[in-house]
Structure 1
Amino acid sequence: MASNPFDQQQAIPGVKKIIAVASGKGGVGKSTVSTNLALALREYGQVGLLDADIYGPSLPRMMGTLNQKPVLSEGNKITPVTRYNIKTMSIGYMVDENAAVVWRGPMLFKAMDQFFRDVQWGDLDYLVIDLPPGTGDVQLSLVQKVPVAAAVIVTTPQNISLIDAKKAIDMFERTGVRIAGIVENMAYMINPANNEKMQLFPKGELSSYLEAKQLNKIGEVPFNPSVSLGSEAGIPIVESNPDGAEALAFKDIAKKIHAL
C-alpha cells in the first residue's frame, strides 16, 4: 500500500503557525498582501516571511533588501535577512534579479526543503509564505512537507480573478488545509474629493460564491497608487503609512488571522 505523502509533514522547529498566501493567479497583489500582512502580524509576535515564488521572486524588492545576501552560520545553516524586524528568505537573495531560474520539479522540492530545514528561523509566532501563482509543485511541496495552519486567498473583485482563486481554494481543501478567508485586493478606491468608495473593477460573483462555500471575506484592501509605490521602493504601506486606510485594512486582516 502506498504511503500517504502528508504523513511526512514535519513542523519547522520554533515556528508556531505557518500562514500560506495564495491566489491561483498572478497580478492580483498577492505578494503585496503577503508583505503587508507579515508587517501587520508583528503586533502579535515574531514574524518570518518566506518568498516561495522560485521563478518570480519579488520579496527582496518589496522589502527593500535587494542585493543583500544571507550568511552561512555554523553547521551550514542559513541566516535569514532581517528587515523591519521580520526575518525574510527568498531565492532572490541567491540569484541575480534579472536571471531566470530554470528548474524542474525535483529541484523545486529540494529548494523548498532547504527553506524549511536549513534556514535558522528561530522562534517565530508566524511564518508567512508568499506562494507563486497556480497550484503546482511549490504548493504541493509546501502542504506535504510542513503543517500549514491556514491559507489566505487573494483575489480582485472581477470574475476573471475569482476563477483562479477558486482553484487555489479547491487545492487547499483537497489537501486538508484550513482556509482562513478571502482577501479582496483593490476592492475599491476612495475618491479624494468626497471620500466615497468607487469601483475600479466590475463586481463579480465573489459574495455569492463565499456564501455558498461558507467562507469568509477577511479583508477588503482599497486601491491606492501609494501601495504599489511603497512596494517598488521597498517600504510597504503598513510601514510607510501605518494609519492610512490601506494599512488599517491589513491590520484588520492580521487581527482576524491571530484570532483563528
Structure 2
Amino acid sequence: MLSRRALLAGSAAALLAGCSSPEPPPPGPSAVPPPSRPSALTEPVTVQRMHSAARGTDVDLVLITPSGVPAAGLPVCLALHGRGARARTFLDLGVPAALTAAVRAGTPPFAVAALDGDHYWVNVGGADDPQRMLTEEVPGWLTGRDLRPPSAVFGISMGGFGALNLARANRDLKAVATASAALFTSWPDARSRKVFDGEANWRACEPLLHTGELRPAGLGVWCGESDPFLGADRRLVQAVSPELARFSPGGHKDGYWRGVLPEVLKFVGERL
C-alpha cells in the first residue's frame, strides 16, 4: 500500500507535469510545402519544406528578402548554420530585420537562403551529402522562386567550415563570409568531434589544409577574441590574407554573432 507521503509526491508530480510549458513554436512562419510550379516570393520571410535527394531527407528552406523590396531577380547569399542549429536559427539571430536595415542604409538588396545541414556541410562517408545539396539542388530551388542562383555564402561555426569548402569548389562566388569558423588544426582535435569518417576524410575537407584553393578577394573572416576557434581562425587569416579580417571582443555565442551580423551583411551586399 502506498504511504500518504508517496501519494502526495505523486500528486505533486502529476500537477507539475500538467502545468509544464509546451515547447515554444519554431521562429518564423509555419513551413509550407513547395509550390507545384515555379512561384515568385511574395513575403519577406518564407519557410518551405523541400525534399533533398542529396541528403536523403526533408529540409527547411528559409528565404529572407529585404522588406519593401521586390524579390524577383535578387542575388542570393546562402546561410549555413552551426552544429546543433538549423536554418531557422537565422531568424532567431535577427537576419530579416538586419537585412532590411542594411538595405535601407544603402547596401544593394539581396536575398538570404538558409538550409538545414549537418556534419560540417560536407560528405563524411555516408549517403547524406549537404554540400551536394547546396551545389546541385539549391540553385534550382531558387530559380523556381524567381531568385538568382547563389553567388555568396555566409557560415557560422560549423557553417564557416562548410562555407570555406563551398568556396574551394566554387571559385566564382563573389563573397564568402565566416563568423567563428569551426576549423581544426590537427586530426586529434577534429576526431574529438566524432563527425569525420577517418583522418583521410578530414584532411580532404579541412579548409586549413587547402588554403591555396581560397581566394582572398571577397573573403571576410570574423571571430571573437574569446572564441575557442580563435587560434585556428587566425591561422586561416595568416595563410589567405582575406579582404577583411575582424577580431573583436566576444565568444562563440549568439550575442557575438548578432553583433557582427550588420557588418557581415554589408560586406556581402556590397560585393553582389
TM-score by length of 1: 0.41
Work out which structure has the larger RCO, using CA pairs closer than 8 Å and 6 or more positions apart in sequence.
1
Query: Larger Rg: 1 or 2?
Result: 2
Higher strand share: 1
TM-score by length of 2: 0.39
